[in-house]
Structure 1
Amino acid sequence: MEKRIINPWQWQDQRSYVQAVEVSQPAGTLYCSGQTAIDAAGQSSTADMRTQLLLTLQNLEQVINQAGYEPRNIVRLNVYTTSTEELMACFDVFQNWVAQHGMQQATTLLEVKSLFETLTIEVEATVVR
């Protein structure tokens, strides 16, 4: 796989994403369903945003790793939240996770009216190798 990052500006660097990612010659592409803070027994979390974000990212990593891919090769993240204000208060969790994996991904953040049951955050990813 060859990956090229397109950033006409520099301001997005402080927000842990890039404007565009071009991928050529991928050996495979993994499209992940939205992952949330649901435990292994299928129970939706009732915890605060920070705790839900940590479990959501852990669940996303588990799906990616089980498929034989690596989080560092995420090229697209869509983030859905019921409160951008609450998410921004714990955005360091997201930024640390991105930095930990050396990711450079295109990201879209959307505030939505609601998610399944008691969930406050959902993250879907596209991963290549």
Structure 2
Amino acid sequence: MERTAVNPWDWSLKLGYNQAEVVEGVTRQVICAGQTAVDGEGNPQHLDDMRAQIGLALDNLEAVLEKAGMDLSNIIRLGVYATDVDEALTNFDVMGMRFGIHQNAPPMTLLGVSRLAIPGLLFEIEATAAA
């Protein structure tokens, strides 16, 4: 798989994502459902702690990817949902640390929502991965 970043402007790079990517030579895709801060039984964790919820949502995303034979370096698109966008952005360095290790800045969208499916959850991340 070959990825080419498309950035007519560089402001998004400072926030950790590309405006677009051209992805060529893909033989496999994994479409991941939204991952949140739940334990193995689906119970919400870290209520009222956005930073911890981001970390656990990323842990859960990595577990799904690992089961599919991939990791965060394979992510080609992210959709992020937060009940408090300002609080999510304050803690977005967690995302940068996790994706930075893989030198991956996939295109993403961050949306503010009034609530997520399970009460108490503050952050959800869905992803498309390719290899």
Task: Report the counterpart of residue 12 of structure 2 in structure 1.
Answer: 12
- Of 112, 120, 123 in structure 2, the residue corresponding to residue 121 of structure 1 is 123
Q: What do residues 15-74 of structure 1 show as CA deviations (whole Å, max 9, x unaligned)?
A: 000000111220101100000001012211224000111100000000001100121111
Equivalent residue, structure 2, for 1:37: 37
* TM-score normalised to structure 1 length: 0.95
Distance in 1 between residues matched to 2:71 and 2:43, nearest whole Å: 26
Q: Which amino acid aligns with 2:9?
A: W
Query: Quick one: which amino acid aligns to residue 65 of structure 1?
Result: E
Q: Distance in 1 between matches of 2:11 and 2:43?
A: 38
Cα distance in structure 2, aligned partners of 1:104 and 1:114: 26
Q: What does residue 24 of structure 1 align with?
A: 24
1:88-103 correspondence runs (5 A): 88-103=89-104
Which sections of structure 2, spanning at least 5 residues, go unmatched? none
Superposed CA deviations along residues 66-91 of structure 1, whole A, max 9, x for unmatched, are: 10012111110000000011112211
Q: Which runs of 5+ in 1 are unaligned?
A: none
In the alignment of these two chains, the number of paired residues is: 129
Instruction: Give percent identity, aligned residues only.
Output: 40
Is residue 48–residue 122 contact of structure 2 (8 Å, CA) maintained in 1? no
SS of the residue 1:4 aligns to: strand
